[in-house]
A and B are shown apart, each in its own frame.
Chain A
Amino acid sequence: MFQRILVPTDGSDLSKKAVRAAIRLAACTGAHLVAFHAIPKFRMFTLDAQMLEDTAGEYRVASVARARSLLAGVAAEARKAGVACDVAHATSDQPWAAIIREAKRKRCDLVLMASHGRKGLQGVLLGSETQKVLTHSTIPVLVYR
């Protein structure tokens, strides 16, 4: 059915739940998993502690390291379930666009993601990145809450 499932993660609890679901679905259908993390661009004016304290160079190093460890965690979990898993990250101020681009590049046929990410207003609305992926994606999107 689905051959390649893209699962974006920002490390939030809800996205971890989506990752677990993606691994189960991949194991169930024999699909290949692509785990993806979008790194927000560095900004001078921000509420992100990591960005406030660091220079642009330090931020880049720290955020890439964080992406790698996040994705390595997903890959290890997938391996345990016997699921083949690629990982990828990209720096973008539009995570939704990076998610769709990566899904196309890796020829995924499903995006499985959480209803909210890190900045979500739990329970009230659909998270903004999930909303935009749903609006712009041409492949099916499975939304987890």
Chain B
Amino acid sequence: MFEHILIPTDGSRLSEKAVRKGIRFAHAMGARVTAFHAIPKFQASDVMMDLLGTNRGDYARAAQAYSNERLRFVQKAAAALDVPCETRHATTDDPAGAIIEAAQASGCDLILMASHGRRGLGALLLGSETQKVLTHSSIPVLVYR
């Protein structure tokens, strides 16, 4: 039924819960998985950079390391169930758009994600990136809470 599932993660608790459930679903389907992480672009103004004692290069390195860690979490979960898993990341200000692009570029037939990410307002609403993916994706989206 589903052969290739894109699982985006931002490292939040809810998204890691969705990852674990998504891997089990992929296992049941005999599907392979592409894990995806969107790295936010560097936002701080020059003044902020001085205050923070950081610069673009430091940020990029730290963000990349964080992204690798998040993707490794998915890879480990997949390996535990023998689910084939590739990883992708992109640096972007539009995580939802990047998720849809990644799904298309990888030829996925399902996007599986949490109802909220890092900035979600608990049980009240649907997270904004999930909302955007649902609105713009032409492939099915499975939303976990």
Chain A positions within 8 Å of B, measured between CB atoms, are 1-2, 21, 24-25, 28-29, 115, 125-126, 131, 134-135, 137-145
Q: Which residues of B contact A141 (CB under 8 A)?
A: 142-143
Interface of A is mostly: mixed
Q: Which residues of B contact A29 (CB under 8 A)?
A: 28-29
Q: Which of A21, A137, A145 contacts B138 (CB 8 A)?
A: A145
Docked pose: A126 CA to B134 CA in angstroms: 7
Please indicate which of the listed interface residues A2, A25, A138, A143 has the most CB atoms of chain B within 10 Å of its own CB: A143
With A139-B145, A141-B142: A134-B28 Cβ-Cβ less than 8 Å: no
Give the A-B pair count, Cβ closer than 8 A: 48
Q: Which residues of B contact A143 (CB under 8 A)?
A: 134, 140-143
Docked pose: A8 CA to B134 CA in angstroms: 18
Docked pose: A24 CA to B1 CA in angstroms: 7
Interface of B is mostly: mixed
Are B125 and A28 in touch, CB under 8 angstroms?
A: no
Tell me the count of chain B residues lying within 8 A, CB to CB, of chain A: 21
Are A140 and B141 in touch, CB under 8 angstroms?
A: no
Are A137 and B141 in touch, CB under 8 angstroms?
A: no
Docked pose: A139 CA to B144 CA in angstroms: 7
Docked pose: A10 CA to B130 CA in angstroms: 25
Q: A24-B1, A134-B134, A142-B143 are in contact. List 5 more A-B contacts (CB 8 A).
A: A2-B25, A21-B140, A134-B115, A135-B126, A144-B140
